[in-house]
Amino acid sequence: MRENMELLIKKLNKACLIYKKDFLNKDFLVIARKRKNTEIIEINFRKEHFMHLVGIKGMKANDFFEKISLNILSVNELNKLKKNPYINQKLNSFPKLRRLFEEEPYLYNFHPHSTTKVELNKIIANINKEIKKELIGLKFLKTLSKKSYIPASIEDRKASEITAEERKRIICILEKKSSEKDYSKILFRNLEENLSLYIPKEIFISIKKELEKVNYNCLTGEPIRIQNHSSGENRWIGKKDVERFEIQKRNNVKEEIGKVAVMMTEKEMEDYKKSRGIEIKEIINPSNVKKLYIIPVPYYNISDLKITKEMEQKFVPMKDKEKIVEKSIDKGIER
């Protein structure tokens, strides 16, 4: 029993470190829409929310956070607290929460009759609501100064089990510290959307610089369509080049998918898909005329790589746009 409690304390400490790094004292502005119906909500993450997210009761929320944060919560103290039967699933979900916000999330309405155990208003979850995956439940909080949402529950389950049918696609998530007045960091954006149509003018002005940032392949100079990296670094290297040059990656980093515009014939596109194991319907008498295709390519940001001086000498500046612009029927993508 004691060993189980000691292991649980270790998991709580790890979750607390993630919470402090990614969420503590941060505000997130979520912009979601379905057709012309746009919804904007703000989520505030504070230390008193941590205890509820991990599924613990029986102590003042701030005291619990401080004890976990300072690693002074004893086994005896933890043993006396009431613990959610799914506490381990909740703790295992913490490392994945940031990715949930960054990978095309959806905003769902909570279904009030789905469970009597929690009182929620909104759910942020994966696009596929039939997949058992981490999700975060939000509770509406109204004060004299503002209206916002707070994180109230972390679940590892199908979104369809606790959500209503109505949902909206999240097109942008902005991030700021609670001490800051204006939003200036883009955590996630749907690259196909014209955000100026949905974001209030004063907020759009504050993030305009981030929106105008151009990410590019620093070995070719080609611009790429990809989410801005949290570090602010806009130079990327393709996964194939990372492997070819045997560039070492930092711990726990993942590739990101960018979109590039390429001119190919139908035969070249067939060969490209075959080389990646994509099932295709073979084209009879493929055309030799080059067309513009938008293809997904995995990249690593250079801030996530261990770049040697020798490798850095291979870097090139971003190409002059005027020399490489190719009109695309798909949202005017430039290569």
Identify any residues that bridge with 31 across adjacent strands, giving them in sequence order.
40, 172
Q: What is the mean pLDDT of residues 238-256?
A: 92
Per the prediction, the chain carries an average pLDDT of 88
Instruction: Using a pLDDT cut of 70, give the percent of the chain over it.
Output: 90
Give me the sign of the Cα torsion angle 235, 238, 241, 243: positive
Reply yes or no on whether the pLDDT at 270 is more than 90: no
**Is the pLDDT reported for residue 325 higher than 60?**
no
Instruction: Say if residues 298 and 239 touch (Cβ distance below 8 Å).
Output: yes
How does residue 47 score in pLDDT terms, banded at 50, 70 and 90? very high
Per-domain boundaries in the chain: 2-208, 215-324
Please give the pLDDT value at position 326.
39
Using alpha carbons only, give the angle 186, 188, 190 rounded to the nearest 5 degrees.
Answer: 115
In terms of pLDDT, which residue wins out, 42 or 144?
42
What confidence tier does 245 reach under pLDDT thresholds 50, 70, 90? very high
Q: Is the pTM of this model over 0.95?
A: no
Eight-state DSSP code of residue 282: P
Between 292 and 224, the more confident residue is: 224
Query: For residue 330, what pLDDT is reported?
Result: 38
Q: Give residue-wise pLDDT tens across range 171-183.
A: 999 999 999 999 9
Higher pLDDT, 75 or 116: 75
Q: Which residue type sits at 232?
A: G
pLDDT digit string, tens, across residues 87-144: 999 999 999 999 899 888 999 999 877 665 678 999 999 988 899 999 999 999 988 7
CA distances from 330 to 228, 257, 293, 294 (A): 20, 17, 9, 8
The contacts of residue 38 (CB under 8 Å, 6+ apart) are 31, 32, 198
Answer yes or no: is pLDDT of 261 > 80: no
Task: Specify the pLDDT at position 329.
Answer: 32
For residue 46, pLDDT over 50 is answered with yes
Q: Which of 151, 133, 8, 174 is nearest to 78 (CA)?
A: 8
**Does position 29 have pLDDT exceeding 70, yes or no?**
yes
